[in-house]
Structure 1
Amino acid sequence: MYLQNILLISFFFFCLLAEKCTASQKQEYLIQGSSGQDIILGHGLEVNSTVEIAWEFVTKDGKELVVAKANRQNVKVYTKFLDRVIVNNTHFLLTIKNLTYQDTGTYIGRLTYESGEIQSVSYKISIRGKDSYILNTFLCSSKVIKYDRVYKHFTYLCMKRFALSAIT
């Protein structure tokens, strides 16, 4: 951990001297799964943390409803400096309840690290029902990368910006 901090600080000062990068980098969340199954946040640099996760549904009138919560479990969060780090496939698993048409809206996932730092991952979910068939479309920034209607499998990418100094 100490060595990692030294490398990050060195990289930061190298960027300032070279003037080829900024103090902010993108963080990648690749999410795969379907309603009621594991959601996978992955491919990235492995960071072990104790994380408290609460997925909340925000209704149109602004009220919040907790739909799933995992209290302080030992899980893994993965980040990636895009175009700079090549890593093996890794996962962060989160299970949410089965969703219905009425659950359409915006969901917020809050990640709380041991250091007390809080990061939010937000996404939109739109569920349309046809007879007994329910189609789940998970959106992030209104962009779905891939959705397989046959196997009910979706993949989307959410980009967020974090200060380089915040990723340690």
Structure 2
Amino acid sequence: MVNITRTAVPALLSAAVGTTLVCAVPAAAAPGPAPAPASSCAAGDLDLAVGTPDPGAGQLYVPLGFTNIGDRSCTLLGHPGVSVLNADRQRIGSPADREGTASGPVTLAPGRSATAVLHTTNGPIGGPCLARGTFLAVYPPASKDEVLVKAPFQICSDRFTVGPLTA
């Protein structure tokens, strides 16, 4: 295999055509430091809060807010993991299924927030309700660290989903 370098190409072309070839290559600008991309938000960089439930047409939607309490920007992408826990911190039912598609990463500057929406039915519509939980165990995207949020959440009709994080 023959390796042809950038400086060898004009010489090869000149030899092939029998004429002199002059090439001007613009000087590359000196690379400056690229801004550091925001890293994934760690559980310790986030304050989580449960918003006001929005009931309607037999459904219950509950916003789950993620606020960056760190001192630098960080990024969240996708869905958090969410489970309902009792007072003894034992899981009630299955973790939330992921619903919807993330439209892209959400970068949170310090003090800024993103929201994921929890969904269940508003009572036993088509199935029973499980015991009311005391906490939500939340795993931010790309994190294996659990954040406990005090919330009296109840899964009903075997429906428990979480949407992607949005700004």
Give the TM-score category using the shorter length: 0.3 to 0.5
TM-score scaled by structure 2? 0.40
TM-score scaled by structure 1? 0.40
Greater fraction strand: 1
Greater fraction helix: 1
